[in-house]
Structure 1
Amino acid sequence: MKAAEPLPAPAIDAELSRWTIRLLSHMQIAQPYLAPELTLGELAAQLRTNTSWLSRVINAGCGKNFNDFINEYRVQEAEARLRDPQFRHYTLLAVALEAGFNSKSTFNRVFKKLRGITPGEVNRLE
């Protein structure tokens, strides 16, 4: 049996684009990032693909590594809650946990890295 020919570059680009759209749609609809223990393997299983392809989609299609990709969604979720008056009574830890972080220290570090301010400073911006 003859080995499959590698896809030409334009075909790979088209497949990568298709998978990037599929991934972003899944992130928006299913919100898998809310699970603190989410792994690349679990996300790949949800999308019915393998980890090496999903990693390539995230790296090339989204321009980030897996952790930065997931943490951006978590920070967006936390930021929305911090700005929403409905969540004003929540502690920073509660916001962190509901956004998918598994500790307050990770939440603070990642939030500061991605936004340049601490989570506690968000409320003061308004």
Structure 2
Amino acid sequence: MKDDREYYRRISSERTDKLFVRIMNAVTENKRYRGGDCTASSIAAELGIKARDISAVVAIQTGENYNTLINNLRLRDACKMLSSPSYNNYSVEEIGLYAGFSSRQSFYLAFSKAYDITPRQYRLLHNKKH
């Protein structure tokens, strides 16, 4: 952990800001975060930087790790789909998979941890409001 903090300090805030914008553009372009090709290593290779730089920049900018950032983008999409009448014909599991989660279990775990409610409960609560 001490090594990480020292590494983070060596990255200028201007460089951090610019890299974060490049990272976010890369992962959000065409909702790339929904696919399996959105690893820190693949994004780093594409941007011509080290995967460690991706981790450092995301931690500095968000306080979270790269995987959490990707899951948060997926969760944001899932919430939109769960609350949209356009997706009423999709099961909760299908929405989770479409948002980019690899399984029903990983979707439910991430969603419940983030919102203290299951995706199904979220959908039911939201549908009652309409």
Q: TM-score range, shorter-chain basis?
A: 0.7 to 0.9
| Structure 1 pair 53–95 and aligned structure 2 pair: CA distance change class (3 A) | same
Which digits, 9 at most, give the CA deviation of each residue in 1:2-44, with x for residues without a partner? xxxxxxx797111111111222233333422101463210121
Alignment of 1:68-87 (within 5 A): 68-87=68-87
* Percentage of pairs with the same residue: 25
Matched residue, 1:114: 114
Q: Which shifted more, 68-77 or 39-48? A: 39-48
Instruction: Give the helix-richer structure, 1 or 2.
Output: 2
Aligned length: 118
**Which of structures 1 and 2 has the larger relative contact order (alpha carbons within 8 angstroms, sep 6+)?**
1
TM-score (norm 1): 0.83
Matched residue, 1:40: 40
Matched residue, 2:4: none
Provide the rounded CA distance (Å) in 2 between the counterparts of 1:37 and 1:118: 27
Structure 1: any 5+ residue segments left out of the alignment?
A: 1-8
TM-score (norm 2): 0.81
Provide the rounded CA distance (Å) in 1 between the counterparts of 2:64 and 2:58: 6
| Structure 1 pair 124–61 and aligned structure 2 pair: CA distance change class (3 A) | same
| Structure 1 pair 59–46 and aligned structure 2 pair: CA distance change class (3 A) | same
For 1:95, the aligned partner's letter is: I
